[in-house]
């Protein structure tokens, strides 16, 4: 029997569902409604078109109505907005730009209405100089303004992915950029000990970063907008970009009988079915299951939306596919850095009361003896049983493939041991014989087995017993900078200087990256000393106190993480030995 399937909304979820369904059912009547002019565009590329990285606007257009009709025989109706769903009649009400209001019947319907940018009720927010970035028309407005030579300054409100990408791209084309974030840090998927690396990169490239201060009001002053923050600080700019998040675009469904979550997201099961018969939903408008915590959440990402569109189409076609949940794997470019994450962060696990361990490593992107290796920081989060719960990485090269490997492991319910056993491609220009993924697994495995006893810098103030902080780096490293109160006994001198340590005290060890502290712990344990090694070492500590209000020239002058105290020596991150350059 011929099916009539309506798809509400295009872009990632809806367009993917339409194309998949046609490949599965050549005879189905498929109608796709899109209220704007564009059914499928690269919304993740919008900031890069504004910044000139993507040179032509038409590169953003993934699919056109004409191409969808020609290749897939899909009736695409742009400028047709579905304004009501009447499940008892199996009809939708559509408001069309060219022919007014009409009804369309269906056998099945796939809802992909997406989400819209938040515009909170802040005084002055209706100024024409205050814009959001969600679609092609939004892009055209911002692009038109920044191409106007009179726009010299921009304020980005919100430090999520879109906000950071817009800040970077506007700065790259020469604007003075201020990024305002009400939370303590930008980029919510990252923990504070990782995201500070990205914050430092923004400041290094001339962006004024204001944290823990939200917007109180806007005042249109003609050629610019005056922004008053909650702290009463005032800022001025010709362009304001609101990037404070999105809300599901589901208001048209409120009287339909469809079940909505507390924030307006459509509730679906693992087949992406709603509570209404023959009605499915996908994309940014739905609640999903968090793959780690198993709780309900909303994660508006293009990758999951595409997968959901395919699964919904499968089920309409009778294939019985299921969606197992969202890991939230994501990645962002921050000038010269790459930051990526997958799975749960510490805040999420704490809210869910899920116990976990953390390790930090600071490997190079490839073999240290091959020129051009770039340092990165990896954070691995895992359960007391060894199940991988999440990971975060920041660096200039090789971060993406390490997080992708760990994301794949998480999707397969992988463990720390699986990381140690992963057989990954190796040649000196690309990796090390022990890949950074393997190394993170080894460090975590040592924690689980009890061979290593680690803490984080955040744990240090919570130690209740009397302890001695011991810096096991070289004297030159110690002289350059160290943690206040730490004594210095270099690792290679430790066996000969044990008499300087108090056996009654807990020894808290740190080195530059963690490895020498672990080796010191292995020396001390058979001799009856109790010790803890601070994971990530001084390199992790050095970024925790980053102040975005610090002078830019001071930030630019900082030594690189792998340098020692003078330019003629460096630390090999693989062995943590000091060597001549």
Whole-angstrom Cα distance, residue 542 to residue 425?
A: 32
> 338 CB contacts (<8 Å, ≥6 apart)?
331, 332, 393, 394, 395, 396, 397, 399, 400
Among 464, 473, 566, 565, smallest CA distance to 519 is for 473
The CA-atom distances, in angstroms, between 243 and each of 168, 201, 338, 446, 517 are 13, 19, 20, 42, 42
Whole-angstrom Cα distance, residue 21 to residue 317?
A: 7
Look-up: residue for tokens 């530059």? 512
Alpha helices per DSSP H over 131-191: 136-147, 161-172
Whole-angstrom Cα distance, residue 319 to residue 93?
A: 29
Q: Are 383 and 356 in contact (CB under 8 A)?
A: yes
The one-character DSSP state at 265 is P
Q: Are 471 and 488 in contact (CB under 8 A)?
A: yes
Among 534, 454, 546, smallest CA distance to 486 is for 534
Q: Are 263 and 298 in contact (CB under 8 A)?
A: yes
* Rounded (10°) angle between helices 161-172 and 192-204: 20
Q: Are 32 and 7 in contact (CB under 8 A)?
A: yes
Q: Are 19 and 39 in contact (CB under 8 A)?
A: no
How many CB atoms are closer than 10 A to CB 558?
12
Q: Which two tokens stand for residue 125?
A: 């927010």
> 558 CB contacts (<8 Å, ≥6 apart)?
none
Q: What secondary structure, in 3-state letters, does 432-451 show? A: CCCCHHHHHHHHHHHHHHCC
First to last CA, the chain: 75
The CA-atom distances, in angstroms, between 242 and each of 19, 126, 156, 419 are 33, 12, 6, 40
Among 117, 71, 63, 113, smallest CA distance to 92 is for 113
Whole-angstrom Cα distance, residue 471 to residue 538?
A: 9
Q: Are 11 and 35 in contact (CB under 8 A)?
A: no
Q: Are 448 and 357 in contact (CB under 8 A)?
A: yes
Whole-angstrom Cα distance, residue 387 to residue 408?
A: 13
Q: Are 362 and 327 in contact (CB under 8 A)?
A: no
Q: Is 122 left (phi over 0), alpha (psi -120 to 50) or beta?
A: beta
Q: Which one of 44, 511, 564, 565 is the catalytic residue?
A: 44
Q: Is 565 a catalytic residue?
A: no
Q: Which residues are catalytic?
A: 44
């Amino acid at each position: 029997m011929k099916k009539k399937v309506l798809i509400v909304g295009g872009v990632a979820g809806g367009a993917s569902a339409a194309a998949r369904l046609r490949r599965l059912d050549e005879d189905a009547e498929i109608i796709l409604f899109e209220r704007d002019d564009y059914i499928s565009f690269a919304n993740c590329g919008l900031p890069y078109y504004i910044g000139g990285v993507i040179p032509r606007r038409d590169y953003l257009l993934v699919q056109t109505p004409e191409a969808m009709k020609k290749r897939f025989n899909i009736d695409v109706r742009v400028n047709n907005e579905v304004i009501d769903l009447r499940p008892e009649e199996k009809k939708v009400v559509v408001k069309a730009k060219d022919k007014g209001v009409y009804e369309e019947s269906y056998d099945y319907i796939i809802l992909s209405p997406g989400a819209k940018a938040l515009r909170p009720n802040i005084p002055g927010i209706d100024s024409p100089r205050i814009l959001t970035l969600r679609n092609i028309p939004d892009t055209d407005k911002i692009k038109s303004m920044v191409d106007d030579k009179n726009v010299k300054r921009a304020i980005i409100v919100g430090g999520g992915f879109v906000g950071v990408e817009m800040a970077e791209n506007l700065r790259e084309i020469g604007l003075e950029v201020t990024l305002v974030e009400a939370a303590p840090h930008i980029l919510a998927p990252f923990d504070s000990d990782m995201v500070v690396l990205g914050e430092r990169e923004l400041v290094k490239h001339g962006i004024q970063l204001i944290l823990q201060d939200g917007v109180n009001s806007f005042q249109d002053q003609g050629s610019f907008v005056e922004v008053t923050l909650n702290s009463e600080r005032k800022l001025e700019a010709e362009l304001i970009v609101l990037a404070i998040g999105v809300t599901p675009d589901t208001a048209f469904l409120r009287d339909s009988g469809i079940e909505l979550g507390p924030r307006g997201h459509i509730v679906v099961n693992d087949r992406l079915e709603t509570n209404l018969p023959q009605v499915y939903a996908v994309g940014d408008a739905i609640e999903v299951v968090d793959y780690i915590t198993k709780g309900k959440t909303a994660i508006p990402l293009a990758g999951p939306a595409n997968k959901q569109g395919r699964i919904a189409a499968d089920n309409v076609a009778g294939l019985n596919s299921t969606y197992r949940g969202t890991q939230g794997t994501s990645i962002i470019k921050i000038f010269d850095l790459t930051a990526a994450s997958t799975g749960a962060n510490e805040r999420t696990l704490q809210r869910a009361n899920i116990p976990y361990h953390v390790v930090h490593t600071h490997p190079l992107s490839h073999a240290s003896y091959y020129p051009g290796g770039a340092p990165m920081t990896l954070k691995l989060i895992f359960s007391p049983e060894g199940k991988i719960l999440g990971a975060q990485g920041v660096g200039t090269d090789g971060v993406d493939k390490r997080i992708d490997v760990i994301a794949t492991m998480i999707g397969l319910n992988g463990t720390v041991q699986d990381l140690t056993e992963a057989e990954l491609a190796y040649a000196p220009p690309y990796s090390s014989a022990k890949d950074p993924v393997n190394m993170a697994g080894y460090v975590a495995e040592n924690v689980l087995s009890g061979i290593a006893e680690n803490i984080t810098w955040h744990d240090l103030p919570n130690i209740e017993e009397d302890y001695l902080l011991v810096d096991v780096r070289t004297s030159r490293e110690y002289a350059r900078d160290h943690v206040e109160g730490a004594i210095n006994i270099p690792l290679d001198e430790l066996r000969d200087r044990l008499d300087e340590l108090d056996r009654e005290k807990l020894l808290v060890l740190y080195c530059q990256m963690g490895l020498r502290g672990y080796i010191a712990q292995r020396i001390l344990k058979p001799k009856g000393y109790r010790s803890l090694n601070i994971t990530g070492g001084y390199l992790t500590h050095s970024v925790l106190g980053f102040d975005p209000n610090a002078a830019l020239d001071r930030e630019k002058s900082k030594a690189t993480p792998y340098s020692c105290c003078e330019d003629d020596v460096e630390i090999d991150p693989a062995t943590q030995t000091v060597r001549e350059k």
